[in-house]
A and B are shown apart, each in its own frame.
Chain A
Amino acid sequence: MNRLSHWRAPLLSLIVLLLLIGIWHALTLPTTSKQTVNAEYAALVGAAAATGQKSTFPTPADFGAKIWQHLKEPFYDRGSNDKGIGIQLGYSVGRVLIGYLLAALMAIPLGFLIGMSPTVYRALDPFIQVLKPISPLAWMPLALFTLKDSSISAIFVIFICSLWPMLINTAFGVASVRREWLNVARTLEVGPLRTAFRVILPAAAPTIMTGMRISIGIAWLVIVAAEMLVGGTGIGYFVWNEWNNLSITNILTAILAIGLVGMLLDLMLARLTRLVTFPE
């Protein structure tokens, strides 16, 4: 009985998946119709347009075949418009990590300062409140104009969107360290630096990590849009390029890959969060 209930949720998941694939399959069954235009035109525009079909949305089988094709050869490189999905994902993950780590390097010390000093907090709060709600993509033209490099601009956009959750959470975590722990440090005559690293940092670490987890999620959302704008490489550019190629199966594959990589990034941060979390 216990073993059965253990398997109930995965079984339900599988049923939902099969159901979705079934509906998808049913909706994309090929409708055969007579050719309505002449053969020469049909050869020019492709069979789908020629037969007057409404859409050529791929069937689950097409999708599966495409995934298999990508899995067989994820890292090929045949020129700037034909790179394997693995390479494109690599570019995106690389940009996200660089922008994200730069943001962490700035947000965590600055958040520390803001959290420690109510004066600094009040002084910087208006800036944070105004800058925080700005869509990171709005910075793109400014970045392109000043940095004059599309790839660096994408990294800058990641940097700016990862900054706020980390900054705010660090400041909050540092400001809400329990007074009694600070009092312990004070009665032990612990210096400010040792207090910061041995008391405040571990006490605020779970809150800081929560901010970092929110940030990596936002960064991965934004990179797709950013790469659609700047072009060249990356999974966002891949999606846009395949839209121009009208290859829906490739777009679907990319969507699935984006979801899986996003899940992995979140899982990694969740693991790290668990490492620094302490039970009270």
Chain B
Amino acid sequence: MSDALIRIEGISKTFAGRDGTQTTVFEDLHFSIDAGEFVCLIGHSGCGKTTILNVLSGLEQSSSGYVFVDGREINGPSLDRAVIFQSHALMPWLTVMGNIAFAVSSRWPDWSTDKVRAHSQKYIDLVNLAGAEKKRPAELSGGMKQRVGIARALSIEPKMLLMDEPFSALDALTRGELQVEVLRICAETRQTVFMITHDVDEAILLADKIVLMTNGPHAKIAEVVVNTMPRSRTRHDLHKHPHYYPIRNHLIEFLVDRSKAFASDAADYDPRNPPQVRPGLADQAVTTAQPVAHPAPAKPLVAIVR
């Protein structure tokens, strides 16, 4: 726990309604993200996913609880945590280069123009946008816009990346393409990422840990699913891995059934230490008959670790 890059301790958010009633969207959330880890958060709409991300980025304040980055409590937005917005949030009056250079020169205000440009160019190349530097956002496709958003976030070399359903506005083909790209970039840069999604397959492909939220109001973390497939997974052979369907079924079953009923059926539930689940590992005995392409890491054969 102590080596976690980001630690969330008991955050909750309460909104005051117009008639004076208080609505608690989520409460008593505890989880942590290690350096280099890719964590996805899945939940139905209304459980306050975006609010959680805004609290982590510092754009919003939680009603109670604390968020620590590198052992320090956060107070407000910081260049440590770059945000990739769902709506890409590019400035339409700036070119691709201008948008990224704005971020770079905000991060290093005393850099010369040449240095800022060179640094920005590196990240434009990283997201495969070379040649589009002088284009305005309006001239780009949805996928290219989000690439600029990713390049802008990475260009400030943040400690961690926060993504708010970054691909939900894109068509399926472009989404798949960008997921592969994000996987590649994260492998190259060892970037720590926290991402919100409602796409189960996206989470399985990208995440090392998947945080499952119950339905709001009073949403909680139901469990943390550990992705038991190796990091070398690709979109191409993901579904061939024996753990793929156990993980996928577990997530879907949670979203369809258990996310609603969770609060009532958990007697020994401890919000400070939500159960960790490793689907696939418990029933490995069944799957050993088939050749396993990627040997699973040596972990105890228990489904639930408390």
Known A198-B102, A280-B138; contact A187-B92, beta-carbon cutoff 8 A: no
- The number of chain B residues touching the other chain, given as a range, is 20 to 34
Interface residues of B in 32-82 (CB under 8 A from A): 57-59, 76-79, 81-82
Interface SS of chain A: helix
Q: Which residues of B contact A199 (CB under 8 A)?
A: 91
CB distance from B264 to the nearest CB of A (A): 37
CB distance from B136 to the nearest CB of A (A): 7
A14, B164: Cα distance in complex, Å: 59
- Check A189–B85 contact: CB distance below 8 A: no
Q: Is B106 an interface residue (CB 8 A)?
A: yes
CB distance from A38 to the nearest CB of B (A): 77
A205, B91: Cα distance in complex, Å: 13
Known A278-B136, A279-B138, A280-B138; contact A189-B89, beta-carbon cutoff 8 A: no
Interface residues of A in 185-205 (CB under 8 A from B): 185-190, 194, 198-199, 202-203, 205
Q: Is A245 an interface residue (CB 8 A)?
A: no
Q: Which residues of B contact A181 (CB under 8 A)?
A: 89, 91
Known A202-B91, A279-B92; contact A188-B107, beta-carbon cutoff 8 A: yes
Q: Is A13 an interface residue (CB 8 A)?
A: no
Q: Which of A187, A188, A189, A280 has the most CB of B within 10 A?
A: A187
Interface residues of A in 178-237 (CB under 8 A from B): 178, 180-181, 183-190, 194, 198-199, 202-203, 205
- Check B59–A190 contact: CB distance below 8 A: no
- Check B138–A189 contact: CB distance below 8 A: no
Q: Is B24 an interface residue (CB 8 A)?
A: no
- Check B85–A183 contact: CB distance below 8 A: yes
- The number of chain A residues touching the other chain, given as a range, is 20 to 34
- Check B138–A183 contact: CB distance below 8 A: no
- Check B93–A203 contact: CB distance below 8 A: yes
- Check A184–B136 contact: CB distance below 8 A: no
Q: Is B156 an interface residue (CB 8 A)?
A: yes
Q: Which residues of A contact B79 (CB under 8 A)?
A: 187-189
A8, B208: Cα distance in complex, Å: 67
- Check B156–A188 contact: CB distance below 8 A: yes
- Check B59–A187 contact: CB distance below 8 A: yes
Interface on B for A, CB 8 Å cutoff? 57-59, 76-79, 81-83, 85, 87, 89, 91-94, 102-103, 106-107, 136, 138, 156
**The 7 residue pairs across chains A and B that have the minimum distance between CB atoms:** A279-B138, A180-B89, A188-B106, A278-B93, A278-B92, A187-B77, A202-B93
27 pairs, CB–CB < 8 Å, chain A vs chain B: A178-B89, A180-B85, A180-B87, A181-B89, A181-B91, A183-B59, A184-B83, A184-B85, A184-B89, A186-B58, A186-B59, A186-B76, A187-B59, A187-B78, A187-B79, A187-B81, A188-B79, A188-B103, A188-B156, A189-B106, A194-B106, A202-B91, A276-B93, A278-B138, A279-B136, A279-B138, A280-B138
